[in-house]
Amino acid sequence: MVATDRKIQYIDPASLADLTSRITYLKSFLNFTDADGAAIQASKDVVAPAVPAILDTVYTHLLSFDITAKAFVPRQPEQNATDTVANTVEDLYLEHPTIKHRKDFLKTYLVKLVSNSNWADDSPFWSYLDKVGIMHTGEPGFKHREKRPELRVEYMHMAALLGFVQDIVIKAVMGTDLDSNTKTAVLTAFNKLLWIQNDLFARHYVVDRDTKTSPKGVAITE
């Protein structure tokens, strides 16, 4: 028998149903460290000025496909009664009141990504990212969505959007005058963070036999 000095971490599959345990595992597997968190936080001066352009780019792209645009047709309860109503995806445009409202949410999300300073496994930050996943399954996720129209976006589109956002971030960072080491640190950190977010979407959409969980919003039908 060949001896080995490799260190093995033993993970109880059932423990991954718990968010903190799941984050501990994901951070360990992806080697997401405090240095990664610091790199993301340090990128705020790069990302923040680009947020308006990022928002326009993302929503222009989402509105260019009917399958992603349809999620934006229902008006939100807090919108003004005089706001223009969209009956079909063709009625939507970048400055439509509903799109402007959704852009505000994405703006908050992006700001939270680069403003977080607590990267501990039990940080409220991870709970926020997890709730972002839940709210797109058709279940409330956040308390403020409890009495709102169901928001159901299938996992395929959420994953594709993360890939699209990652592409934008790469181009934004590479277009700066940061030194190559800093660019590498920021992009590596964002790559890990977006993959964690991807898992925090997927865990609410897929059947997981290890954790004995099933998709949220499965009762929702067209």
Residue 151: predicted pLDDT = 79
Residue 218 has pLDDT above 80, yes or no: no
pTM above 0.85, yes or no: yes
Least confident of 126-135, 146-155, 167-176: 146-155
Classify each residue of 13-36 as buried b or exposed e, where b means 16 or more C-beta atoms within 10 Å of its C-beta.
eeebeebebbbbbbbeebebeeeb
Is pLDDT larger for residue 85 or for residue 143? 85
94-129 pLDDT, tens digit each: 999 889 888 998 999 999 999 999 999 999 999 999
* Sequence-ordered list of residues with C-beta below 8 angstroms from that of 126, at least 6 positions apart, any chain: 19, 20, 23, 196, 200
Class of domain 53-202: mainly alpha
Closest of 32, 55, 34 to residue 193, by C-alpha: 32
Return mean pLDDT, the chain. 89
Residue 8 has pLDDT above 70, yes or no: yes
Residue 141: predicted pLDDT = 66
Q: What is the 3-state secondary structure (H, E, C) of the chain?
A: CCCCCCCCCCCCHHHHHCHHHHHHHHHHHHCCCHHHHHHHHHCHHHHHHHHHHHHHHHHHHHCCCHHHHHHHCCCCCCCCCCCCCCCCHHHCCCCCHHHHHHHHHHHHHHHHHHHCCCCCCCCHHHHHHHHHHHHCECCCCCHHHCCCCCCECCHHHHHHHHHHHHHHHHHHHHCCCCCHHHHHHHHHHHHHHHHHHHHHHHCCCCCECCCCECCCCCCCCC
Closest of 55, 47, 97, 44 to residue 74, by C-alpha: 97
- ∠21-109-198 over CA atoms, to 5°? 45
Residue 165: predicted pLDDT = 94
- How far is 215 from 208, CA to CA, in rounded Å? 9
137 strand-pairing partners: 152
Residue 5: predicted pLDDT = 78
Residue 86: predicted pLDDT = 78
Boundaries of every domain in the chain: 53-202
Residue 41: predicted pLDDT = 94
Instruction: Report how far Cα 107 is from the mean position of its chain's Cα atoms.
Output: 12
45-90 pLDDT, tens digit each: 888 888 999 999 999 999 999 999 998 888 766 556 556 777 789 9
Least confident of 34-38, 43-47, 130-134, 216-220: 216-220
